[in-house]
Amino acid sequence: MLFPRRTEIYGEKQPSEHVYKVLSGAVCTYKLLIDGRRQVDAFYLPGDVFGLDFNKERTLSAKAVVDCRILVIKRSALTALVTHDNKVARQLWAFTAAELKHAQDHMILLIKTAEERVVAFLLEMAERSNDHLEIDLPMTRQDIADYLGLTIETVSRTLTQLQANAAISVPSSHRIILRKPAALRCLNV
Amino acid sequence: MLFPRRTEIYGEKQPSEHVYKVLSGAVCTYKLLIDGRRQVDAFYLPGDVFGLDFNKERTLSAKAVVDCRILVIKRSALTALVTHDNKVARQLWAFTAAELKHAQDHMILLIKTAEERVVAFLLEMAERSNDHLEIDLPMTRQDIADYLGLTIETVSRTLTQLQANAAISVPSSHRIILRKPAALRCLNV
DNA sequence: CGACGCCTTGATAAATGTCAAACGTCGTGG
DNA sequence: CCACGACGTTTGACATTTATCAAGGCGTCG
């Protein structure tokens, strides 16, 4: 199924009827406060599965950050499997546990300084990329800022500062190359 | 089993061999950065179960915030049950999902202002208390500050300010009474 | 009674947010 | 093919929030 960029895939409080797998593009999950402040919980890249918040209602919203091809799976198909196959049940549990771990790591990120947060984000994205040094960032600065609990201006300034230190280079705004990965890892506390 | 206050119950990276239930007292789970900054993930009060991070290794540390009586359960006893009883497996999964939801709510708390964070904390604790208006806080200001991503000074100042607004009263430093719960809920975004 | 631990208060500093403007890039239409 | 406009990003000047550092108060326990 195709989702154009910026499309909402599901919204908070809606019933959880499907599970999703990213085929191409990128997705983010987030929460909104009434005044518009937003906390992005996670980015999902090709191969990643999302939408397994198996409280009946969605606890997060999800939207396509760029045009996406997404595989949509009925929840009922999964729950049927679970009641019969114990192994599937355990895999789903492990998946939820992994999301919990990610949320815990994200929480500690939110108490760090701006520079540490940006570096942690770059290292996380590098870890998930193909060659671990060149990163393609499908999301906007606003998405990154909302993931890190900062403003776009602070994210932008921190990136230019890292570039000034020659720790990274930014050939285009959605492409970043790690020049001193070891130094960056030191900043990752 | 008895744990005096400040005792570590388990540490990050240790193997997960037990699950715990608070009988009396209070426990918190947390992560540390090398320079000592600390993020408290959750407080557990009598009746609560903790220690179910079922990645093999602990992703958090846990310590008693006051003297505690704690029921300690062998992990192996649980996993044995799980392989046979599908219902137990699903309960454990639901438990992990609930922890995940709490972590997500905590993340959005960390992007709010100091006043909003303190209010959110008070409302959360009130919700878990007996009469929902009088709160007994077993933890220190430092524990609260580390839960909210603030300093003890900011927590203290915010509490005195709420007291000045007559939104709360603080008869003793570990006891808080909500005077204007509706007004506080408005601040909870 | 004194000492210690914890909490509160005050003055100041630092980090990040806000507001505003300029810049670049990309796509569209003349 | 070039010009224009929209959108996203960067940069700058300034404001605000919260942290830091330091001192004082209060209660508890030996």
**Nearest 5°: phi and psi at B146?**
-70, -25
Summarize the confidence of residues B95-120 as an average pLDDT: 97
Distance, Å, A176 CA → C15 C1': 25
A116's CB contacts (< 8 A; 6+ apart) are A109, A187, A188, A189
| Entry field: residues in chain B | 189
Where do runs of H (alpha helix) occur along A8-85? 75-84
Q: DSSP secondary-structure letter at B32? A: E
CA distances from A178 to A113, A125, A140, A182, B9 (A): 20, 11, 19, 9, 40
A20's CB contacts (< 8 A; 6+ apart) are A9, A27, A49, A50, A51, A62, A70, A71, A72, A73
Closest Cα in chain A to B35: A189
Summarize the confidence of residues B135-154 as an average pLDDT: 98
CA angle A80, A86, A90 (to 5 degrees): 100
- B96 Cβ under 8 Å from any chain A Cβ: yes
| pTM for the whole structure | 0.95
Helix (H, G, I), strand (E, B) or coil at B18: strand
- B33 Cβ under 8 Å from any chain A Cβ: yes
Q: Are A66 and A6 in contact (CB under 8 A)?
A: no
pLDDT over threshold 80, residue A100: yes
Closest Cα in chain B to A98: B55
A55's CB contacts (< 8 A; 6+ apart) are A16, B97, B98, B101
Q: Are B69 and B23 in contact (CB under 8 A)?
A: yes
> Would you state the torsion angle of the CA atoms of residues B108, B113, B117, B118, taken in this order, to the nearest 10 degrees?
180
pLDDT over threshold 90, residue B99: yes
Give the separation between CA B93 and CA A108, rounded to whole angstroms: 24
Give the separation between CA B40 and CA B170, rounded to whole angstroms: 23
Amino acid code (one letter) for B25: G
Pairing of strands B27-32, B49-50: unpaired
Q: What pLDDT is attached to residue B161?
A: 97
Q: What pLDDT is attached to residue A88?
A: 86
- A91 Cβ under 8 Å from any chain B Cβ: no
Summarize the confidence of residues A131-160 as an average pLDDT: 97
Give the separation between CA A48 and CA B21, rounded to whole angstroms: 34
pLDDT over threshold 80, residue B54: no
Closest Cα in chain A to B116: A33
B159 contact to strand D (CB, 7 A limit): no
Q: Do A108 and B60 touch (CB under 8 A)?
A: no
Q: How many CB atoms lie within 10 A of CB B74?
A: 11
Summarize the confidence of residues A165-171 as an average pLDDT: 96
Distance, Å, A171 CA → D9 C1': 13
Put the strands of the sheet holding A61-64 in their side by side order.
Answer: A8-10, A61-64, A27-32, A38-44
Q: Are A71 and A25 in contact (CB under 8 A)?
A: no
Where do runs of H (alpha helix) occur along A110-180? 114-128, 141-148, 152-164
Top pLDDT among A55 and A132 is at A132
pLDDT over threshold 90, residue B189: no
Tokens of A131: 């060659």
Tokens of A101: 């771990």
Distance, Å, B167 CA → D30 C1': 38
Write down the mean pLDDT value for chain B.
95
Interface of A with B in 101-140 (CB under 8 A): 101, 103-104, 106-108, 110-112
